[in-house]
Amino acid sequence: MIGAAPAPRIRALGEAALSVEFGDRIDEAVNARVHALDAALAVDPLPGQAETVPSYRALLVVFDPERADLAAARARLANLAAHLPAEPGAGRLWRVPVLYGGEAGPDLETIAAHAGLAPEAYVARHAAGRYRVHMIGFQPGFCYLGGLDPALAMPRRAEPRLRIPARTVSVGGFQTAIGTVAGPSGWHVIGRTPVRPFNPARDPPFLFAPGDRIAFRAVHAEDWDALDAEAAGGARVAERLA
């Protein structure tokens, strides 16, 4: 069991949802407890449970309002949280190709200089990391990833861009992320992946899930068109390693 962890704060959100809050910061251990509880509820759902939504530090549990007994659910959640396994399920491991730098990563040189590294060294260290999908949000399928080497971090841009391309790989503070659709961003864009993390025509539409792990693989510009065409045609392109 996860030992010496404080009891979570359980808050009612309206009449049909409870938020189980394990902490107030981005933290690997806190996020591990979120996913451990989510996994437990997937195996043995609460009466009336309709949906669970994990975030960095909390698990939202949504109920059918006609079947909800929030008092009983609160007690059950508190008991489950007190007896979580030491480690949640490892999740799937994916290798994701990324074209770093150039037009695909216009901020690479700036962020590498901030880290005191040559762009090639920054890419090597970023691609060497193993990242955990802490949560999905902001855009459909957008992956917030934990595990960034602190030496590669950089505060977000003072002036956000109004629009960056779909499927960017970016760094904001001590986080890195895989985007999905074009939109505004204050993060530093270091590359782009041909992988479609979100495809509404696919079942399920999200390729990655909270708790999955990501390994990046740097690819050359001459390989981009072929990979992008494969992905546009429905190929997964991301390699499932485990």
Q: What is the CATH number of the domain that holds 211?
A: 2.40.100.10
Answer yes or no: is 151 within a domain. Answer: yes
Residues of the domain holding 158: 93-240
pLDDT tens track, the chain, 242 positions: 444 578 999 999 999 999 999 998 888 889 989 999 999 999 999 999 999 999 999 999 999 999 989 999 999 999 999 988 756 667 899 999 999 999 999 999 999 999 999 999 999 999 999 999 999 988 999 999 999 999 999 999 999 999 999 999 999 999 999 999 999 999 999 999 999 999 999 999 999 998 899 999 999 999 999 999 999 999 999 999 99
CA distance 183 to 152: 24
Answer yes or no: is 56 within a domain. Answer: yes
206 shares a domain with 104: yes
CA distance 117 to 99: 18
Among 81, 101, 128, identify where a domain stops: 81
Give the predicted TM-score (pTM) of the model.
0.88
- Please check whether residue 26 is in contact with residue 85, taking contact to mean a CB–CB distance below 8 angstroms: no
Strand, helix or coil for residue 144: strand
Helix ranges (H only) for the chain are 28-43, 70-81, 108-114, 119-128, 221-232
Answer yes or no: is 1 within a domain. Answer: no
Q: Residue 74 phi/psi, 5° resolution?
A: -60, -45
Closest C-alpha to 90, from 207, 209, 205: 209
156 shares a domain with 105: yes
181 shares a domain with 154: yes
For the chain, what is the domain count? 2
Among 81, 101, 124, identify where a domain stops: 81
